Chains A and B, each alone.
Chain A
Amino acid sequence: MASLKLARFLLNSNRKFPNQFSCFTKTSCNLQRRLFSDVTQQSSINLSSSPPTSPPPFHDSTTTSGGAGFGRRTPISSSLNESELLKFSSIAETWWDSQGPFKPLHVMNPTRLAFIRSTLCRHFRKDPCSARPFEGLKIVDVGCGGGILSEPLARMGATVTGVDAVEKNITIARLHAESDPVTSAIEYCCTTAEKLVEEQRKFDAVISLEVIEHVANPAEFCKSLGSLTVPNGATLISTINRSMRSYAAAIVGAEYILRWLPKGTHQWSSFLTPEELVLILNRASISVQEMAGFVYNPLTGRWALSDDIGVNFIAFGTKNSQ
């Protein structure tokens, strides 16, 4: 009797498998198409596919690019995803609350900066023992949010431009930076990477952390980052891998179990694997030189750099000099 049930169950589940499988392949196909189509999709803002998610208290770095706030729905050519913008705009005030929804970013920040510091110091031959090693470097922080990366970069001596598509974020960032003469020199603009390209801005280093997974068209986005980088300049991107472990950690763990992030912060299917990121960066004439993973130690409550790029990772690339 029991074995009969089991057999039926197996049969049923077998029947289900192809479906599931096709479902998987479908998403990955979508992704592939998205990644590798060089045809510029005019206005990839896909409002239709993802209805404005209900009250979205959200987290994690802001979506980049895009029009000034989501109030302006003029179909602009942008790699931006408008529903993502909406998420972040609703929690902009909490950017600098280190115990608030952006807490994971605050905790992770020193580790990300350690990687940025070491790679940029090596690439630009700056003294790693200096307190302001980035003196003389022009850096853009694409998707700067409330400025939690821009401010440390400015303290490390860089001439920083912070851009974000969410107007509220820029307001918060400006307000926060005012209190210190060093950070008040940061140039914050509510704009997109694409617009900066149009304005023909160039930077020694282009940094965009925890942004690409919120972007509608990563390939286009990377192209813009590439165009913003001077020849022999540096590009740094961090994001979450599309692996089973990242699903367990970043979505089930961080959003549902630990509740570090509001549910729905991340769409697993829009994550990129390191290989995909290397490929699309290559197409943007950036060759990835170094990658590192971030691993969380639940005992110390801190993040550390590691070789394990299975979940959170950061890539450092240099712009080819043609």
Chain B
Amino acid sequence: MNRIVAKRVVTTFHSFKVVRRGLSNDAVIGANSPSTNDQVNTAYKEKLDLTNDPYDIAVVGGGMVGMAFACALSSMPLTKQLNVAIIDSNPALGKQDNIKKDDLPDPRVSTVTPAAISFFKDIGAWQYVLQHRHAYFDKMQVWDYTGLGYTRYTASDVETDILGCVVENKVLQSSLLSCLQKNTEFQKTVYPSRLTSMTVGLPTQPNSATSGIAKLDLSDGNSLFAKLVVGADGGKSRVRELAGIKTTGWNYSQNAVICTVKHAVENHCAWQRFLPAGPIALLPIGDNFSNIVWTMSPKEASDCKAMSEDDFLKAVNHALDYGYGPHPQSNSDGYSGDHSWEVPPNVIELASERMVFPLSLKHAKDYVANRVVLIGDAAHTVHPLAGQGVNLGFGDASALSKIIADGVAVGADLGELSLLKKYEAERKPANLMMAAILDGFQKAYSVDFGPVNILRAAAFQVAHYVSPLRRNIISYATGRQKWPLLF
């Protein structure tokens, strides 16, 4: 615990020492230390050497993805000896786990796919998630406002127990932090600050384009050196900006309204209905609570936020039931009751504030640059309609940590472009595919036109009744399968 809180004094020495290393090779260490006593000098020197070597990896952004990446490094034999810095101004990073189980659920939640769950288990963080509120779900129902089609999936379709688990972001975050703190062997230093500038390659070296090290300057005046900079600093990534990596994408003229609601009964199903303005999702979060993610136009969103609690609850129940169109016919020939259409549980109470977020699609043109690599939202933001965003990020964290372990095994320079390119080759096409599919969904529902509606309904029917396709869709959405439609 004490180790993780940045020792300010030490960090100051750190920058002092490393800068000197960069500029001269003379070992005049500790010029300002008491020079009379040789023993003191040696001890001082040793201390400096231990703490002041450049970091192997600097993770900018201690959010869920950045922390998952750090945890992954700490969990593997080949990478646990790496010296890692985490840069984040979020004060929660220095604190012990302080989430109480009877707090009301936070509206910021994530749907963690089975693939991401096994990643969390591998890195040793899932046990901490289980100590907090979480809700596994084994059923999923998707339908649309026209009442023409629906699809309902259960975990037994793919012979598993669960389709996913809904967890509050703060629980994921603190579980990862606990996991990292418990691992005292792992050398990590948290810098409670923000990145202001980044220089790759030292100007004092003639072949600086290919040489060595990235220098990071922080808003509190500290600077540090790292062989590899991992940008896990979200959609507005500063690392991406400083590395000059361009993005493509567009803003959806949609906002998401999120909040926590309460039911009279416990919910075990993830519900999603496509409405003319965008999908509404009702996700179980445990203890009779559910989470609402409702996509709509910015105007409607601000109305939703402003309206009274009762009106809002009415609107939610309306949207999940008869609003905008009829219930789909459930012609469950050959299927058990598990696959017939159901009405989602009624919402009886609003349990949190309503938050509004703008939605956009953004994809970095490159995931890697010299000594820089992007993971999570820094590399891609997607439409939240299938709850894939953070799971793609966990996929990135997992892939990058494995590639770094492979690199360590063969003594590679961790900032080497050829090593980082392997990560890009593994993740970029997969993430692009998911982004394109989600974008396609969004587009398919942005028109309300008879033939299109029928086409969509037909697609629903196909997705519902063609078993191999069903299994395929579930496997892809739960992250078990990297590519869609490969039988």
Q: Which residues in A have some Cβ–Cβ distance to B below 8 Å?
A: 96-98, 106-107, 109-110, 113-114, 117, 129-132, 151-156, 175-176, 178-181
Say whether A152 contacts B410, CB under 8 Å: yes
Tell me, yes or no, whether B79 is within 8 Å of chain A by CB.
yes
**Among B21, B206, B207, B410, which residue has its beta carbon within 8 angstroms of that of A109?**
B410
Residue of chain A at shortest CB distance from B206: A175
Say whether A96 contacts B210, CB under 8 Å: yes
The 8 closest A-B pairs by CB, nearest first: A152-B411, A113-B410, A179-B212, A155-B411, A156-B411, A129-B77, A110-B410, A96-B210
Say whether B411 contacts A97, CB under 8 Å: no
Could you say which residues of chain A place their CB within 8 Å of the CB of B292?
A: none
Say whether A151 contacts B202, CB under 8 Å: no
Task: Provide the bound-state CA to CA distance between A109 and B418, in Å.
Answer: 11
Could you say which residues of chain A place their CB within 8 Å of the CB of B212?
A: 179-180
Task: Provide the bound-state CA to CA distance between A113 and B413, in Å.
Answer: 13
Say whether A97 contacts B206, CB under 8 Å: no
Say whether A180 contacts B227, CB under 8 Å: yes
Could you say which residues of chain B place their CB within 8 Å of the CB of A153?
A: 411
A312 CB, nearest partner CB in chain B, Å:
17
A to B CB contacts below 8 Å, 28 in the list: A96-B207, A96-B211, A98-B210, A98-B417, A110-B407, A110-B419, A113-B410, A113-B412, A117-B409, A117-B410, A130-B77, A130-B78, A131-B77, A131-B79, A131-B82, A131-B408, A152-B411, A153-B411, A155-B408, A155-B413, A156-B410, A175-B207, A179-B202, A179-B211, A180-B54, A180-B413, A181-B21, A181-B53
Within 8 A of A (CB), among B179-235: 202, 205-207, 210-213, 227
B445 CB, nearest partner CB in chain A, Å:
37
Could you say which residues of chain A place their CB within 8 Å of the CB of B413?
A: 151-152, 155, 180
Say whether B81 contacts A131, CB under 8 Å: yes
- Known: A98-B416, A107-B418, A113-B412; 18 extra A-B contacts, CB below 8 A, are A96-B207, A96-B211, A98-B418, A109-B410, A110-B419, A113-B410, A114-B410, A117-B409, A129-B78, A131-B79, A131-B81, A152-B410, A154-B411, A155-B413, A175-B205, A176-B210, A179-B205, A180-B212
A138 CB, nearest partner CB in chain B, Å:
16
A131 CB, nearest partner CB in chain B, Å:
5
Interface-centre pick from B53, B206, B411 (highest chain A CB count, 10 A): B411
Tell me, yes or no, whether B406 is within 8 Å of chain A by CB.
yes
Within 8 A of A (CB), among B282-325: none
Say whether B409 contacts A97, CB under 8 Å: no
Task: Provide the bound-state CA to CA distance between A98 and B421, in Å.
Answer: 12
A269 CB, nearest partner CB in chain B, Å:
32
Could you say which residues of chain B place their CB within 8 Å of the CB of A113?
A: 410-412
B211 CB, nearest partner CB in chain A, Å:
5
A1 CB, nearest partner CB in chain B, Å:
58
Could you say which residues of chain B place their CB within 8 Å of the CB of A131?
A: 77-79, 81-82, 408
Tell me, yes or no, whether B336 is within 8 Å of chain A by CB.
no
Could you say which residues of chain A place their CB within 8 Å of the CB of B206?
A: 175
B375 CB, nearest partner CB in chain A, Å:
21
A305 CB, nearest partner CB in chain B, Å:
12
**Among A96, A110, A132, which residue has its beta carbon within 8 angstroms of that of B406?**
A110
Could you say which residues of chain B place their CB within 8 Å of the CB of A154?
A: 411
Within 8 A of A (CB), among B386-413: 406-413
Tell me, yes or no, whether B131 is within 8 Å of chain A by CB.
no
Could you say which residues of chain A place their CB within 8 Å of the CB of B54?
A: 180-181
A183 CB, nearest partner CB in chain B, Å:
8
Say whether B227 contacts A114, CB under 8 Å: no
Residue of chain A at shortest CB distance from B22: A179
Could you say which residues of chain B place their CB within 8 Å of the CB of A175?
A: 205-207
**Among A129, A155, A176, which residue has its beta carbon within 8 angstroms of that of B207?**
A176
Could you say which residues of chain A place their CB within 8 Å of the CB of B227?
A: 180
Task: Provide the bound-state CA to CA distance between A179 and B53, in Å.
Answer: 11
Could you say which residues of chain A place their CB within 8 Å of the CB of B79?
A: 131
